[in-house]
Amino acid sequence: MTFFKRFFGDIIKDRKGEDDTVTVKGKTKPKYYGTVAPYPNFSARDDASVLQSAIQTKGVDEDVIVSVLVMRSNEQRQKIKAVYEAVAGEPLEKALRSALKYDLEDVTLALLMTPAQLDAHCIRKATKRWGTDEDVLVEILATRTREQIEEIATVFKNEYGDDLEEVLKSEASGDFEKALLALYRTTRDTSTEVDMELAHRDAEVLFESGENNGEFHVETFIEILTTRSAAQLSKTFQRYACVSDQSLAKALQAELKGDVEDCLIDIVKVCWNTPAFFAEKLHAAMKGHGTCEQSLIRVIVSRSETDLQKIKDEYRAMYDFSLKEDIARDTEGHYRNVLLGLCGP
């Protein structure tokens, strides 16, 4: 099942969603949907020593390296890095670059980055290659909060010496540039509260600015899709399907083309069902001949402490096979073991 079949099937329903909170000792807190949790009885010094031995042993003990890094949270890996450099006299990243190769090297180095460093790194790669990887830019900017984007921009400036907003301007043009910069500058509300009157009004405005008008006003779509909360937009999408005879995503496909079409449709997907959006990304990375290792690494590492469990559930619902089954078929060796380990049980 493609995302759009799932989207079209659900769009007219009132998606109440699941209860994303849990009560522990009388206190309510968000449920955890990551697949990697902090390791109990953690010792950064012990782990650094184990990694140093595994790296320096004859032939390199990849099994040990994998078992340590996969079973630690990102915060714990940062502590291991600090202790390792203090004890070994060189950064852990440098030692692993010398010890590992190819995809295993790439995924272990991604695990050692902070979330903001990984995002900045992926944006840098997306804008430095021959031709910009627009999908990566939209994926990151559309799924991060205002605070996360600000942190990414700070890291990008510190590590690469460039202003992220200026880089984005240089990589895009026209309506796509407007949409990309709107995502970058967004102050999107993260509240789950919904204003039904606003949802009805926005749906009418979008309908009149698009398929019910001889001229498509893309600026209106950009403004609404990049400023309303995901919960608010979900209600707007439902209302749009009542106003029109098709979903908003279908209308965008009919009216737009090129990068701005892909961008706005991705925003709709993210706001409607973020885990399904990432499930589709992972499936696309593995379907057909060859595997897009960079996409697998980027999504699985970045979502392993956020919502990878939900992504796994959506993947199964959309494609009949489990994410782990497809990873096992498409990858091999210690690299496969890292990805499977990050996916959890």
Residue 258 lies in domain = 189-272
Which amino acid makes up residue 94? K
Which of these, 10, 280, 239, 321, lies nearest to 139 by C-alpha position? 280
Residue 113 DSSP one-character state = S
The CATH number of whichever domain residue 293 belongs to comes to 1.10.220.10
How many separate domains does the chain show? 2
- Going from the C-alpha of 206 to that of each of 52, 70, 270, 283, the distances in angstroms are 58, 45, 18, 31
- Assigned domain for 249 exists: yes
Please tell me the predicted confidence (pLDDT) of residue 287.
86
- Assigned domain for 78 exists: no
Please tell me the predicted confidence (pLDDT) of residue 214.
67
- Picking from 272, 289, 310, the residue at the C-terminal end of a domain is 272
> CA-CA distance, 293 to 285, in Å (whole number)?
7
Angle between helices 258-272 and 274-286 (to 10 degrees): 130
Extract long-range pairs of 10-17: CB within 8 Å, 24+ residues apart: 10/272, 10/273, 11/237, 11/238, 11/241, 11/247, 11/272, 12/238, 12/241, 12/242, 13/238, 14/238, 15/234, 15/238
> CA-CA distance, 253 to 245, in Å (whole number)?
14
Indicate if 202 and 257 belong to the same structural domain.
yes
Indicate if 222 and 296 belong to the same structural domain.
no
Helix/strand/coil for 28: strand
- Contact between 333 and 18 under an 8 Å Cβ cutoff? The reply is no
Unique residue bearing structure tokens 């995901």: 230
Residue 11 DSSP one-character state = T
Please tell me the predicted confidence (pLDDT) of residue 12.
46
Please tell me the predicted confidence (pLDDT) of residue 247.
84
Please tell me the predicted confidence (pLDDT) of residue 57.
86
At residue 261's C-alpha, the angle toward residues 131 and 3, to 5°, is 105
Indicate if 195 and 251 belong to the same structural domain.
yes
- Picking from 217, 244, 272, the residue at the C-terminal end of a domain is 272
Count helices and strands (H / E) in the chain.
21, 2
Helix/strand/coil for 13: coil
- Assigned domain for 174 exists: no
Residues 6 or more apart from 153 whose CB is under 8 A from it? 163, 164, 165
- Assigned domain for 332 exists: yes
Unique residue bearing structure tokens 């109990």: 40
Indicate if 230 and 290 belong to the same structural domain.
no
> CA-CA distance, 236 to 115, in Å (whole number)?
31
Indicate if 305 and 320 belong to the same structural domain.
yes
> CA-CA distance, 77 to 337, in Å (whole number)?
18
- Contact between 288 and 329 under an 8 Å Cβ cutoff? The reply is no
- Contact between 183 and 145 under an 8 Å Cβ cutoff? The reply is no
Unique residue bearing structure tokens 């010792």: 43
Please tell me the predicted confidence (pLDDT) of residue 189.
79
Q: Where are the strands (E) in the chain, listed by range?
A: 21-24, 27-30
Residues 6 or more apart from 213 whose CB is under 8 A from it? none
- Assigned domain for 136 exists: no
Residue 248 DSSP one-character state = H
- Contact between 96 and 55 under an 8 Å Cβ cutoff? The reply is yes
- Assigned domain for 203 exists: yes
- Assigned domain for 256 exists: yes
- Contact between 315 and 44 under an 8 Å Cβ cutoff? The reply is no
Query: pLDDT of the chain along its 345 residues, tens only?
Result: 565 555 555 554 555 445 666 655 666 667 899 999 999 999 999 999 999 999 998 889 999 999 999 999 999 999 999 999 999 999 999 999 999 999 999 999 999 999 999 999 999 999 986 666 899 999 999 999 999 999 999 999 999 999 999 999 998 999 999 999 999 998 887 888 999 999 999 999 999 888 766 677 899 999 999 999 999 999 999 999 888 888 888 888 888 888 998 999 999 999 999 999 999 999 999 987 667 999 999 999 999 999 999 999 999 999 999 999 999 999 999 999 999 999 999
- Assigned domain for 253 exists: yes
- Picking from 242, 272, 302, the residue at the C-terminal end of a domain is 272
* DSSP β-bridge partners for residue 30: 21
Please tell me the predicted confidence (pLDDT) of residue 22.
60
